Chain A
Amino acid sequence: MTAVKHAAAPPSAPPRRAPGMGRAFTYLLLIIATLFFLIPVYLVFATALKSPDAITLDTAWHWPAVLNWASFSEAWDKVGGNMLNSLFLAVVATLLSALLGSLNGYALSKWRFRGANTLFALMLFGMFIPYQAVLIPLFQFIKALGLYGSIWGLILAHVVYGIPITTLIFRNFYADVPDALIEAATIDGAGFWQIYGRVIFPISVPGFVVVIIWQFTQVWNEFLFAATLTNTSSQPVTYALSQLAGGQAVSWNLPMAGAILAALPTLIVYIVLGRYFVRGLLAGSVKG
């Protein structure tokens, strides 16, 4: 709970500098840590840019002598359709769950009623459950609705299981909106919907950004539902990538190029809007 508060207002770093020796040591540690985090990136690109016959385990670390960009177009041929599936899925599911979360968060934080907190805690439990514990009935349910193998079944699952986290983020976001604003609007004769439309929704942009980024990343990266609720025509990219990399006799440039493609959208989102990503991360992880 504390962390969420801090995250809501990114604190400015106080001017605190350690003297000489300690500084050098600090940078040394930072460089070692950076190597740990970036070496996989180097290896992915080195492998993706090699031609299949240049990939041997002995020379895995060598940068390719000749760059082979064809891996990417080849990988796109294999997972491009799934990328488009993922894009459609992630955009639709994200927008729907953001809208639902905004309304829920508004109702829960600004129109509190008895038992609202208990209700909310029961709701939140839904985001912690292992989805394995609902997977079989979910599969049957989606099948009974006739949505198995269609992307809409997957969208339904993501919207429903996204309710807890989107509600949580918006509830925390709206908690910082002063109640006096709502009271003033009530005195002016505005009701539930007018207040939402004229007061709450217009100031919700930062909340929407956090929720949209967070949900987009989650839905894009999800694997379990993707593997159970879809068939070949509707499989998202995570499943396609796992199939691409799963075989034993693979030429590794393809899965590596595929991994880069599959990672690119969320990575771009993170690099461009990292600040909001971190807020979602903190809010989505620390409850309250």
Chain B
Amino acid sequence: MKGLSKDRLWAMAVLAPSILLIAIFVYSFIARTVYVSLTDWGNDPAQALAIDPIIRWVGFQNYQELFTGFLQGRFRQELVNTLFFTLFFILGCLGLGLGLALILDRNPRGEGLWRTVFLFPMSLSFIVTGTIWRWMLQPQGGVNQAPTLVGAPPSTFGWLSSNDAVLKFDWNALPLITALVVGVVLIVLAVRAAREGQRTRMVVAAACAALLLLWAVFIGPRVKLLAAPELHGFNFAMIGIIIAAVWQMSGYTMALYLAGLRGIPEELREAARVDGANDASMYRHVIFPLLSPITLSAMIILGHISLKIFDLVYAMAGPDNISASVPALNMYLTSFRQNQFALGAAIGTILLILVAFVIVPYLASQFRGEEGHS
């Protein structure tokens, strides 16, 4: 049936309210947030909650303040925290999840029970998880007392209170680091395009990479964002939060990997064995390559969760723990405790951009593939 039958009109009518709601609540609200982030709403406390506040357009001043302002060191540490959190959280969930799935794939007795145990934290709220782990990571209690159960002296690790950090770098070097990382990625893309014989793509990527690297060599080292050096790194206070997050979410990767493992036909394993593969090489050459699309999906989902995570941090470290905080938490505090709406909107926009980097290519690739089939 081609064209607009009555039924098809009904289908669109049914969808219309949802489309309208999404258009308002997602897209127009995002636009509004971006607009607010370019104003000075709330920078003057007297105007923040006024009935008719005087709001002026200030361009990118809020963003500039966040990245280079003297008062916003907290935000910069949070940005660094988020990146490290994302990295270790994804690694932890993928590693533990894959390990558990591989064990369960060997069909131990009572498999359902084990699976239930590994997955139950998924059904909890991050607030519940955070409350529990906060108690476990109390400075002189919980985990730090655990060694005394076997007669050892208690540990003194400052799980949520440490101020020590590793992998420190000067914030002033951020443009340089960014340029180098993007440059390297572009080179990889160029090499790939060259191998696939796509000349235009190769030339564009290579040219951009060259420009960036030239900038990094000649101009980058002289760029100073801040008047004085400001060190940021992977703060030890984040470790406890990462462990709690892995505790809660690794069951999810386990479920994904287990579904993937169970989906691999037995004949494939048989064939590999007949070809003389032992267990190790079968996993390396047959099973892990088949699981790589699942790994990619999991990385994307976990990545977007970790960039947004905030309730776990709120419940574990509290709102005022500067060394263990994340931008998503800062946005809430800035907007709804301090009423600095414009600054909060700017943080929200930065978060959105980070998440979009992860999600948009993913959605685009999924649906481009599907549009072709239907």
- Seen from chain A, the residues whose Cβ lies within 8 Å of a Cβ on chain B are 1-3, 5-7, 11, 13-18, 22-23, 26-27, 29-30, 33-34, 36-38, 40, 43-44, 47, 56-58, 60-61, 100, 103-104, 106-108, 110-113, 117-126, 128-139, 141, 157, 160-161, 163-164, 167, 186, 191-193, 217, 220-224, 227-228, 238-239, 241-242, 245-246, 252, 255-256, 258-259, 262-263, 266-267, 269-271, 274, 277-278, 281-282, 285-288
Contacts and interface: CB of A to CB of B under 8 A. Distances in A.
A171 to B, nearest CB: 11
A276 B158 CA distance: 40
Contact of A132 (B6, B108, B256, B348): B348
Interface string B2-20: 0000111011101101110
Closest 6 CB pairs of A and B: A57-B141, A221-B125, A111-B11, A270-B123, A192-B10, A133-B352
B348 A104 contact: no
B47 interface: no
Given A121-B367, A285-B301, A135 B22 contact: no
Name the residue among B25, B134, B311, B363 with the largest chain A CB count within 10 angstroms: B25
Name the residue among A44, A119, A129, A133 with the largest chain B CB count within 10 angstroms: A133
A231 to B, nearest CB: 12
24 contacts: A2-B263, A11-B262, A16-B266, A26-B103, A30-B108, A33-B103, A34-B117, A37-B121, A38-B117, A44-B135, A61-B146, A108-B11, A118-B371, A132-B328, A132-B351, A136-B33, A137-B28, A137-B33, A160-B22, A242-B131, A245-B131, A256-B135, A258-B131, A286-B297
A160 B131 contact: no
B30 A129 contact: yes
Given A58-B140, A126-B25, A223-B127, A40 B18 contact: no
Given A40-B132, A44-B132, A111-B11, A224 B145 contact: no
A14 B11 contact: no
B142 A43 contact: yes
Given A104-B18, A132-B332, A16 B106 contact: yes
Given A134-B25, A192-B7, A119 B359 contact: no
Name the residue among B6, B107, B349 with the largest chain A CB count within 10 angstroms: B107
A128 to B, nearest CB: 4
Contacts of A286: 256, 297, 301
Contact of A57 (B120, B140, B314, B315): B140
Contact of B12 (A2, A15, A113): A113
A115 to B, nearest CB: 10
Nearest to A56: B141
B142 A128 contact: no
A52 to B, nearest CB: 14
A61 to B, nearest CB: 6
Name the residue among B32, B266, B362 with the largest chain A CB count within 10 angstroms: B32
Interface of B: 6-8, 10-12, 14-15, 17-19, 21-22, 25-26, 28-30, 32-33, 36, 96, 99-100, 103, 106-108, 111, 114, 116-128, 131-136, 138-142, 145-146, 149, 247, 252, 255-256, 259-260, 262-263, 266, 293-294, 297-298, 301, 304, 307-308, 310-311, 314-315, 318, 328, 331-332, 335-336, 341, 344-345, 347-349, 351-352, 355, 359-360, 362-364, 366-367, 370-371, 374
Contact of A130 (B18, B119, B141, B348): B348
Q: Is the interface of A mostly helix, strand, loop or mixed?
A: helix
Contact of A117 (B12, B116, B367): B367
Nearest to A128: B359
Contacts of B332: 132, 135, 224, 227-228
Contact of A2 (B28, B260, B351): B260
B294 A163 contact: no
A144 to B, nearest CB: 12
A108 B10 CA distance: 11
Given A6-B262, A34-B114, A133-B30, A278 B107 contact: no
A13 B111 contact: yes
Contacts of A259: 128, 131-132
Contacts, number: 314
A191 B111 contact: no
Nearest to B149: A61
A183 B135 CA distance: 59
A34 B254 CA distance: 14
Contacts of B135: 43-44, 47, 60, 252, 255-256
Contacts of A136: 32-33, 36, 335, 341, 344-345, 348
A125 B23 CA distance: 11
A160 B273 CA distance: 51
B262 A40 contact: no
Contacts of B14: 103-104, 106-107, 192
A1 B28 CA distance: 30
Given A163-B18, A191-B7, A241 B127 contact: yes
Given A40-B133, A113-B8, A238-B125, A58 B141 contact: yes
A33 B118 contact: yes
B123 to A, nearest CB: 4
A60 B127 contact: no
A270 B248 CA distance: 14
Contacts of A106: 14
B289 to A, nearest CB: 13
Nearest to A118: B367
